[in-house]
């Protein structure tokens, strides 16, 4: 009787161990399945991430004011190389067509300040305006320089007087403006930023360096 009980007990124990082993195996399989599910979810999440897109072409921002000034004409450049005098160069500069606002301001200053001067004197006045527009202490455009308060006596109430655009004096002023803007001829005024008529003596002239006297104007840096 004892042997039967012992054998029965052994059978029961073996069955119990089998059940427990199966349960543990099921738990391990569940953990593996859960791990695989998490891995698949992670991979799916990585796949759905936004991939950066790189622009192949450079983004160029147009600088303000560039469109207002005409590009240098190769014909004008070749004319300046072959011209033997400023007068000859002026005669080769085309004046047909409408001026941009900026060049109109530059030509207007030449016309009203120096139309009675020789061409060198007119170019020197234009050169001062070009130099100022390139200097950080002054406005960065020709019109800004010309209309700056208390700088040019011909400007009244912030406006330029009417120009006789059909006159020979205006055509010369227009050509001089184009030459100065494109740097087609070296001016005797060099890098001057100031000038005045020789029949006046402004107080500021004592603090500046005189560079040239051209006809009735004295130019300073």
Is there a domain that residue 13 lies in? no
pLDDT band at 4 (very low <50, low <70, confident <90, very high): very low
Mean per-residue pLDDT over the chain, rounded:
77
Percentage of the residues of the chain whose pLDDT score is greater than 90: 60
pLDDT in tens, 32-58: 344 444 555 445 444 444 444 433 433
The verdict on pTM exceeding 0.75 is no
Mean pLDDT for the stretch of residues 3-27: 45
CB 109 within 8 A of CB 129: yes
What pLDDT does 32 receive?
Answer: 38
Q: What is the mean pLDDT of residues 112-138?
A: 97
In order, the DSSP letters of 125-178 are HHHHHHHHHTSTTS-SSHHHHHTSTTT-TT-BTTBPPPP-TTSHHHHHHHHHHH
**Total domains in the fold of the chain:** 1
Give domain status of residue 46, yes or no.
no
Q: Which domain holds residue 166?
A: 86-220
User: Is pLDDT above 90 for 100?
Assistant: yes
Whose structure tokens read 């300073």? 220
Neighbour-count burial of 187, counting CB atoms closer than 10 A to its CB (0-12 exposed, 13-18 middle, 19+ buried): buried
Q: What pLDDT, in 10s, does the model give residues 122-133?
A: 999 999 999 999
Residue 210 lies in a domain: yes
**Of all residues in the chain, what percent carry a pLDDT higher than 70?**
63
Specify if 77 maps to a domain: no
Is 8 part of a structural domain of the chain? no
Q: Kindly report the CATH number assigned to the domain that includes residue 186.
A: 1.10.10.2520
What local confidence, expressed as pLDDT, does residue 54 receive?
39
Q: Is residue 139 in some structural domain?
A: yes
How many of the other CB atoms lie within 10 Å of CB of 132?
Answer: 22
């Amino acid at each position: 009787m004892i042997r039967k009980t012992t054998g029965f007990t052994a059978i029961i124990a073996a069955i119990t161990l089998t059940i427990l082993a199966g349960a543990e195996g099921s738990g391990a399989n569940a953990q593996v399945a859960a791990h695989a599910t998490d891995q698949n979810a992670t991979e799916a999440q990585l796949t759905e991430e936004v991939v950066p897109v790189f622009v192949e072409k450079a983004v160029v921002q147009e600088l303000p004011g560039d469109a207002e000034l005409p590009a240098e004409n190769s014909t004008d450049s070749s004319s300046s190389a072959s011209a033997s005098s400023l007068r000859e160069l002026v005669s080769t500069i085309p004046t047909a067509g409408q001026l941009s606002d900026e060049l109109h301001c530059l030509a207007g200053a030449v016309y009203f300040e120096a139309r009675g001067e020789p061409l060198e004197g007119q170019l020197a006045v234009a050169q001062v305006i070009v130099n100022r527009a390139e200097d950080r202490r002054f406005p960065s455009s020709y019109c800004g320089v010309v209309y700056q308060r208390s700088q040019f006596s011909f400007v009244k109430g912030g406006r330029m007087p009417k120009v006789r655009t059909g006159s020979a004096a205006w055509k010369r002023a227009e050509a001089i403006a184009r030459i100065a803007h494109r740097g087609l001829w070296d001016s005797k005024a060099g890098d001057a930023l100031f000038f005045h008529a020789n029949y006046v003596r402004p107080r500021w002239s004592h603090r500046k360096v005189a560079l040239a006297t051209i006809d009735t104007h004295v130019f300073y840096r």
